[in-house]
Amino acid sequence: MQVVRPGKLEMTEKPLLPPPAGHVRIRVEACGVCHSDAATVEGMFPIQWPRVPGHEAVGRIDALGEGVEGWALGQRVGVGFLGGSCGHCIPCRSGDLVSCQNQAYVGVQHDGGYAEFMFAKATGLISVPDALSSADAAPLLCAGLTTFSALRNSPAKAGDLVAVLGIGGLGHLGIQYARHMGLEVAAIGRGADKAELAKKLGAHHYIDSATAEPANALQALGGAAVVFATASAGKAAADTVKGLRPRGVVIALGATPEPIEVPSLDLVLASRSVAGALTGNPATGDATLKFSVLTGIAAMIETMPSREPPKRTQR
């Protein structure tokens, strides 16, 4: 399925080619649908048409390009949003593979997983454990990896209060990871109807932003070490800043053009900060899947065929 212009998806067939040097060819078994895929389809990213979206792809390697080492034919692998580091830019040489200056976004700068086959750079591959089905693993390669990596790299320690703003694709995984990492978890959503789901996912507290000020509610709990803003809403993230304890941080994970406007006094007087986090590197992807297997963490998914089933005719 390729996008030929903003908002227009169409089915097409392309020749099956060998992978370029440094790449593998993957026979896709499952691919998640992510917010960034919607941005691709709607033309929000600067891309060249046509483009095959999809960056939560899982499948088996069916061809190896020249120079690929450490991966085998038939091995089940996954591909996330980051297309693979170059290894020679300044961030790469410093060990910051996520910030590689020559790294394409899968399904944006090159074709992704809404297809039967796709190419993937070997440096961006993630190993998929046998205990996970391809469909269950797929959303963990972006939504899972993003929240897991942000939590693991945050200043929060076991027993600290953290808040997860938004109980959507990122948030419903973030709550589970935070609970299993030994953190006290406050989920922030809009409406009383989300309280039951938040508690089921593992939240110790639910804050309804429609009836309470999130910052006041967090301070009543002692102040959050970290707020993980998974919702794509700048104002909602800004409204949590005063709920941080001294030296606490709001980490933006949900992408939105809406600014996060914060009075400098709210930052300066308690040494608070606002930061962002972009997914994680392949090794952290491996850890995300392993941790998910060990703890039983899973995304809430709905599966559907990549092709429309044929219409049946009465005979």
Phi-psi group of 34: left, alpha or beta (phi > 0 → left; psi -120 to 50 → alpha; rest → beta)? beta
What is the pLDDT, as a whole number, of residue 94?
97
Candidates 191, 48, 15; CA nearest to 115 is: 15
pLDDT 10s digits, 69-95: 999 999 999 999 999 999 999 999 999
Dig out the tokens for 93 from the structure: 């040489």
Dig out the tokens for 47 from the structure: 């891309």
Domains in the chain, CATH or no CATH each: 2-141+286-295 (3.90.180.10), 144-276 (3.40.50.720)
pLDDT 10s digits, 34-70: 988 888 889 888 888 999 999 999 999 999 999 999 9
Rounded CA separation 217/127 (Å) = 41
Better pLDDT: 306 or 287: 287
pLDDT 10s digits, 148-205: 999 999 999 999 999 999 999 999 999 999 999 999 999 999 999 999 999 999 999 9
What confidence category does residue 122 fall into, taking pLDDT thresholds of 50, 70 and 90? very high
Mean pLDDT across the chain, nearest whole number? 95
165, 171 contact by CB (below 8 A): yes
205, 224 contact by CB (below 8 A): no
Rounded CA separation 131/114 (Å) = 24
DSSP per-residue codes, 253-310? -S--SS-----HHHHHTTT-EEEE-----HHHHHHHHHHHHHHT---------SSPPP
Instruction: Report the predicted TM-score, pTM, of the whole model to 2 decimal places.
Output: 0.94
Candidates 119, 51, 124; CA nearest to 87 is: 124
